[in-house]
Amino acid sequence: MSGTEGRIIRAAGALVEAAPLRNVGLFEIVRVGPRKLLGEVIRLEGDVATIQVFEDTAGLALEDPVVATGAPLLAELGPGLLGSVLDGTGRPLEQLAASEGAFIGAGTLAPTLDRERRWGFVATARAGDRVEPGDLLGMVEERPGLPHSIMVPPDCRGEIEWIESGERAVTDVVCRLAGGRELTLLSRWPVRVPRPIAEWLPADRPFVTGQRVFDLLFPVAEGGAVAVPGGFGTGKTVIEQSLARFADADIVVYVGCGERGNEMAEVLEEFPALLDPRTGRSLMDRTTLVVNTSNMPVAAREASVYLGLTIAEYYRDMGYRVALMADSLSRWAEALREIGSLLREMPGEEGYPTALSNRLGKLCERAGRVRALGQPERSGAVTFISAISPPGGDLSEPVTQAALRAVGGLWALDAGLAHQRQFPAVDWETSYSMQVEELLPWLEREGGAGWGALRREILELLQRDKELREVAGLVGPEALEDRDRLILESAALVRELLIGQSAYDPNDARSPIGKTHAIAELIIRFHQSGTETLQAGGTFGSLEVPRARRAIGGIRSLADGGDHLQRAAAQAEVTRAAGGRREVEVTV
């Protein structure tokens, strides 16, 4: 504690100015007023500090004391994060809700991690070992099947003098280094600083989402960052929740920045009700929720994304693959805008601070696949999926544009598609991934041969379908040639059976990549066989579209997409439906 103390000289909304505050640093945490509200220094001019207050500032008065703490906003890291629900500064909502009503009491000093709970610590390092940052000291079974590594903090090294297994609370000492430094299950890290790593690893494997439209058409890398912009009700939250449940990640960190007051209640109700398909238990077993609403102070909302990132990095450092979701990043950007305007900064586009793009870029840079610091060697990843709520669904607005400069992929949602109940309502024309080429070798190997060609053919069908529908709108579908009518039918199969996927269908909410490949292959097979039939003089009327649809639908209704025999039978059936007389060759 530095003990530095000043007085409030000005207060405006979430900001206060205090002086004289000497020897405080930028981003240092201070305690404001008699209720000791949590605040953060965000500007320093001489001995005047401008402070954003993470709590309701009502009742603060000029001359109230402001006391520096000597430390920045720190995340408490350790066992017990999984299953917890935190506010933007890391205070657990559930325990507080029990003692203080629905909202946190002002100035409450609530630690993130439960101080009472004991964990079985199993030491793996030994007295006499020399340890470096990131080295493993031991393990705690945080949740069944999810061991929690206790690592040497990034700023610490030396020889172990004493270490002992046993039942420990998070603040109990488990290890002492020569020189006296004591280590506990709990460590702290400043949320605004990326945790150090040994090295970045190439983005050469996909973040497998279980959603066909993403895995097939717009795959992003594990460790990538992707933006999911969509207007009101287009399915952003459903997508984030589907990814949380079904994507190939070990740990989920979900940052909810809601716009409506009751949205926190919704998230708190909905999320724990989600079941983990792997265990049948609550998804909360491998999730940390960070929750904010618009009626919480803006500064806390601004901080929440950094807290989420820090927790995600911490599990990454243990060797886990972490999915970090923000819903929605627009609310975070709006918090920046509000704080910027209170600071009377020169506003940029639509009032957002000119630093928006830079700040967003820095957030996304913290995503990645890494080799973690320390021994034993391990790699982990943070994949960052941000929903964005552009007003009116207009992607030219500043937050979406800033995100596009920072991410490797765009999954754009379209209100028209959502209105037709084509879900996920992904606009395939606007969406993209910049990582497809790097990911294809993995997808061809693990998903199925010809993945890249299938992807191209599906996109081409959708493109030609769009052009033809414009023509058909003018002249009527009957006036189209047979091969064009076949394109319309094949594209309809793509929309309904391939990229259409209900989040509520227990057999189809998650599509393993083998199933995704099988469905795409069947549709392309139908289209190609049908085209050959027409070229050989057959008519469109001779093609049995409903029969093909049934065969493809049969594979789609199987949770795993069927075994080799089932797929071979579907291939034969689709080929017959597309021309009958043609020789049926079956690949098994």
Q: Write the interaction track for ligand ATP spanning residues 423-442; mark x where CB under 6 A is met and - where it is not.
A: xx------------------
336: tokens are: 């920046």
Q: Show the tokens assigned to 96.
A: 């507080």
Task: Using the minimum distance from each CB to Mg ion, give the nearer residue, 228 or 543.
Answer: 228
CA pair distance 270, 287, nearest whole angstrom = 13
Q: Pick out residues in 396-425 that bind ligand ATP (CB under 6 A).
A: 423-424
First vs last Cα of the chain: how many Å apart? 70
- For 432, counting Cβ atoms within 10 Å of its Cβ (0-12 exposed, 13-18 middle, 19+ buried), the class is middle
* Residues near Mg ion (CB under 5 A): 236-237
Strands (E), 276-376: 287-292, 321-327, 368-371
Residue 88's binding partner, choosing from Mg ion, ligand ATP, none, with beta-carbon cut-off 5 to 8 A by kind?
none
Judged by CB under 6 A, does residue 162 bind ligand ATP?
no
212 with 283: CB under 8 angstroms? no
Q: Which is nearer to Mg ion, 137 or 335 (CB)?
A: 335
Closer residue to ligand ATP (CB): 158 or 512: 512
**Residue of the chain from 80, 138, 219, 235 that contacts ligand ATP (CB under 6 A):** 235
CB nearer to ligand ATP: pick between 224 and 230: 230
* Structural contact between residues 395 and 430, judged by C-beta atoms closer than 8 angstroms: yes
Question: Which of 236, 378 has the CB closer to ligand ATP?
Answer: 236
Count of positions on this chain that bind ligand ATP (CB under 6 A): 14
In the list 115, 130, 159, 232, the residue contacting ligand ATP (rule: CB under 6 A) is 232
Among 111, 190, 233, 512, binds ligand ATP (CB under 6 A): 233
List the 173-177 sheet strands across, edge first. 130-131, 158-163, 173-177, 182-184
| Angle, vertex CA 36, rays to CA 34 and CA 40, nearest 5 | 130
Which C-beta is closer to Mg ion: that of 18 or that of 388? Answer: 388
Residue spans of alpha helices (H) in 214-290: 236-246, 263-273
Part of the chain binding ligand ATP (CB under 6 A), chosen from 90-98, 231-239, 351-359, 442-450: 231-239
The SS3 call for residue 488 is helix
| Least distance in angstroms from the C-beta of 494 to ligand ATP | 16
By rule CB under 6 A, what string of x and - marks binding of each residue 330-369 to ligand ATP?
Answer: ----------------------------------------
User: Are 251 and 322 contacting, i.e. CB atoms less than 8 angstroms apart?
Assistant: yes
Residue 237 Cβ, how far from Mg ion at the closest point, in Å? 3
Angle between helices 329-342 and 298-318 (to 10 degrees): 130
Pick the piece of the chain touching ligand ATP (CB under 6 A) from 29-37, 165-173, 317-325, 502-510.
Answer: 502-510
Q: Is the distance from CB of 253 to CB of 311 less than 8 angstroms?
A: yes
Beta strands in 206-348 (DSSP E): 225-229, 251-257, 287-292, 321-327
Q: Give DSSP secondary structure letters for 426-449.
A: B-TTT-EES-HHHHHHHHHHHT-T
411 contacts which partner out of ligand ATP, Mg ion, none, CB within 5 to 8 A by kind? none
Strand partners, 66: 6, 32
Stretch that binds ligand ATP, among 215-223, 229-237, 339-347, 438-446 (CB under 6 A): 229-237
Q: In the complex with Mg ion, which residue's Cβ is closer, 137 or 387?
A: 387
The pairing of strands 225-229 and 409-410 is parallel
Q: What are phi and psi of 192, to 5 degrees?
A: -85, 0
Largest CA distance in the chain: 91
The binder of ligand ATP chosen from 504, 535, 541, 563 (CB under 6 A): 504
Q: Which is nearer to ligand ATP, 149 or 328 (CB)?
A: 328
Q: Is 384 helix (H, G, I), strand (E, B) or coil?
A: strand
Q: Which stretch binds ligand ATP (CB under 6 A): 81-89, 235-243, 293-301, 439-447?
A: 235-243
3-state secondary structure of 140: strand
Cβ burial of 50 (10 Å; 0-12, 13-18, 19+) is: buried
DSSP-derived pairing of the beta strands 15-19 and 5-12: antiparallel
The whole-angstrom separation of Cα 548 and Cα 559 is 19
Pick the closest to residue 237 from 462, 41, 503 (CA basis): 503
CB of 11 to ligand ATP, least distance (A): 33
- Residue 230 in contact with ligand ATP, rule: CB under 6 A: yes
Please count the CA atoms within 13 angstroms of the CA of 415 that sit on its side-chain side.
10
- Best CA proximity match to 522, nearest among 570, 578, 459, 560: 570
- Segment near ligand ATP (CB under 6 A), from 60-68, 85-93, 230-238, 285-293? 230-238
Residue closer to ligand ATP (CB basis): 422 or 542: 422
Contacts of 45 (CB under 8 A, 6+ apart): none
CB of 332 to ligand ATP, least distance (A): 14
Interface characters, 448-467, with ligand ATP (x: CB under 6 A): --------------------
The nearer residue to Mg ion, 236 or 549, going by C-beta atoms, is 236
Query: If binding is defined by CB under 6 A, does position 389 make contact with ligand ATP?
Result: yes
Q: CB of residue 411 vs Mg ion: minimum separation in angstroms?
A: 14
Question: How far apart are CB 88 and Mg ion at their closest, in Å?
Answer: 18
Please list every residue from 56 through 115 that binds ligand ATP, using CB under 6 A: none
Residue from the set 50, 89, 234, 357 that interacts with ligand ATP by CB under 6 A: 234
Nearer to ligand ATP, 130 or 421 (CB): 421
| Cα(275)–Cα(283) distance, integer angstroms | 5
Judged by CB under 6 A, the stretch of 86-94, 213-221, 500-508, 527-535 that binds ligand ATP is 500-508
Contact window for ligand ATP (CB under 6 A) among 10-18, 159-167, 232-240, 536-544? 232-240
- Both tokens assigned to 488: 């319309």
Site stretch for ligand ATP (CB under 6 A), options 228-236, 264-272, 333-341, 399-407: 228-236
Residues engaged in binding ligand ATP (CB under 6 A): 230, 232-238, 389, 423-424, 502-504
